[in-house]
Structure 1
Amino acid sequence: MGTFAGNTEAASSVKSNEIVSSAKSLIGTKYRYGGTTKAGFDCSGFIGYVYKGKGVSLPRTAAGMYSKGTPVKKAKLAVGDLVFFNTTGKGVSHVGMFIGNGQFIHASSSKGVRIDKINDPYYWGKKYVGAKKVANVQVAKK
């Protein structure tokens, strides 16, 4: 199994359509604090589960994930990049996966696995901290 991407190279190659499809198949799964299975996910448990299914092992927490990987500017986000938010006022506390078109998929504590807009002016846009590349996600050829 691959490990988390370092600062210079990605650990594993993943197809964008596969990673997004895997994540979207879990939409509606309920939120569970500390959850790492289909019975219920927290944010980092969800991201870890999706990537583990593609052979990429990630740290367990959002802050742990943020401390690794290669930084990505918001304007350069690619499908599969992890996006991080400060929802508590105490640093990185939430993680999701960018899926394109200004959207990310994540496990919301109030609504479970869902898709939201990264630049939502009422909440997520104000909480955005940064993004990291964790694997070599290849755009699927149509």
Structure 2
Amino acid sequence: MKNVLKLAIVALLVIGCKQKVVPADIAKLNGYWEIEKVDVADGEDKNYKVNENFDYFEIKNNQGFRKKVKPQLDGTFIVNDTYENVKVRFEKEAVFLDYSTDFAKWSEELVKLTDEELVVKNEENKKYHYKKTGAINITENGETTK
């Protein structure tokens, strides 16, 4: 009985400590994000070691866009004209990113958002884990610059 009580207390602490995304957090979404892994519902997770593309978000007043950008070794990015409109929607206890293009509309739930980590879940229950990143800039001697 004591073990059950201890387990219940730990479970409540874990549930109570779950990070909730609030409107003030949305500004953290702005910038470059590199995908690290995808959690798939059937358990076959996919880890990304190297990424050719980053996601760039620019959100203001809960509206903006997301673009795919390709980092270059000199600190620049290759960018095309393709983008997705994004609207942030708060619904009950959840936050959603509603995307739209001329061809499609879809939503992802914003599961976690910190200064360094982004997790979104799509309608297929796949969780996409991103880390905040920036430009890659390698000097002539092969050292990474800041």
TM-score range, shorter chain: under 0.3
Q: How does the TM-score come out when normalised to structure 2?
A: 0.23
Structure number with the higher helix fraction is 1
Structure number with the higher strand fraction is 2
Larger Rg: 2
**Which one has more relative contact order, counting CA pairs under 8 Å at least 6 apart?**
1
